[in-house]
């Protein structure tokens, strides 16, 4: 999981295009990294830290966080994102690496001239027929990744990032 913590003005308003990137395995680890950034918050218990930050942002008593620590961290990050204070970023790796013989299989199908490469179901069928069952299996569950490759020649960023602002940011996506 990777997030951008926005810098803020003295008023607390986030500054677009600014901030620091944090990366951790999960929401709880992100909160631990955030908590440890200043000596003023490093000694606070994670739940106290999250509650204090949210009350400062949302003004006064806030809706309580879930009891489970991981769920509380996910809710905390989601609420920060709704206020524009953090942004969820794509991971640095592709969502699901394609099979080893992916490029070879697609080139074989393309050179056969038997289908338009935009016809995903037919390309999937032909890869299996031409001796690439692992590629056909991968294609079955990765339509978006295949389309990104055919149209752009690139691997897509990540399962949770479509290149646009998410209308409702959420930490557990």
What pLDDT, in 10s, does the model give residues 13-26? 888 767 788 888 89
Contact 121, 57 (CB under 8 A): no
What integer best gives the mean pLDDT of the chain?
Answer: 83
Task: Check whether 10 has a pLDDT greater than 90.
Answer: no
For residue 63, the Cα-to-chain-centroid distance in whole angstroms is: 26
Q: By mean pLDDT, which of 44-48, 59-63, 64-68 is the weakest?
A: 59-63
Tokens standing for residue 64: 């309580």
pLDDT at 171: 55
Contact 51, 61 (CB under 8 A): no
pLDDT at 160: 38
pLDDT at 70: 94
* H-helix segments, the chain: 27-35, 46-58, 69-82, 102-112, 120-129, 133-141, 143-152
CB atoms near residue 129 (< 10 Å): 13
Q: How far apart are CA 117 and CA 103, in angstroms?
A: 13
pLDDT at 78: 95
Q: By mean pLDDT, which of 45-49, 95-99, 158-162, 168-172 is the weakest?
A: 158-162
Top pLDDT among 122 and 164 is at: 122
pLDDT at 162: 40
Using DSSP bridges, classify how beta strands 2-5 and 86-89 pair: parallel, antiparallel or unpaired: antiparallel
- Percent of the chain topping pLDDT 90: 49
Task: Check whether 44 has a pLDDT greater than 80.
Answer: yes
Answering whether pTM is above 0.75, one says no
pLDDT at 159: 40
Tokens standing for residue 36: 């440890």
Tokens 């290149």 label which residue? 163
The mean pLDDT value for 42-57 works out to: 93
pLDDT at 165: 44
């Amino acid at each position: 999981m990777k997030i951008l913590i926005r810098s803020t003005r003295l008023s607390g308003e986030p500054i677009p295009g600014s901030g620091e990137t944090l990366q951790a395995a999960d929401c709880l680890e992100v909160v631990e990294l955030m908590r440890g950034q200043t000596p003023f918050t490093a000694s606070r218990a994670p739940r106290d830290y999250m509650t204090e930050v949210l009350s400062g942002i949302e003004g006064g008593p806030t809706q309580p966080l879930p009891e489970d620590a991981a769920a509380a961290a996910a809710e905390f990050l989601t609420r920060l994102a709704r206020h524009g204070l953090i942004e969820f970023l794509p991971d640095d790796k592709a969502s699901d690496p394609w099979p080893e013989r992916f490029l070879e299989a697609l080139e074989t199908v393309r050179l056969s001239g038997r289908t338009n490469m935009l016809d995903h179901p037919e390309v999937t069928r032909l890869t299996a027929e031409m001796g690439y069952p692992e590629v056909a299996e991968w294609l079955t569950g990765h339509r978006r990744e295949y389309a990104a490759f055919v149209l752009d020649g690139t691997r897509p960023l990540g399962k949770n990032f479509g290149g646009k602002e998410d209308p409702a940011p959420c930490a557990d996506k």
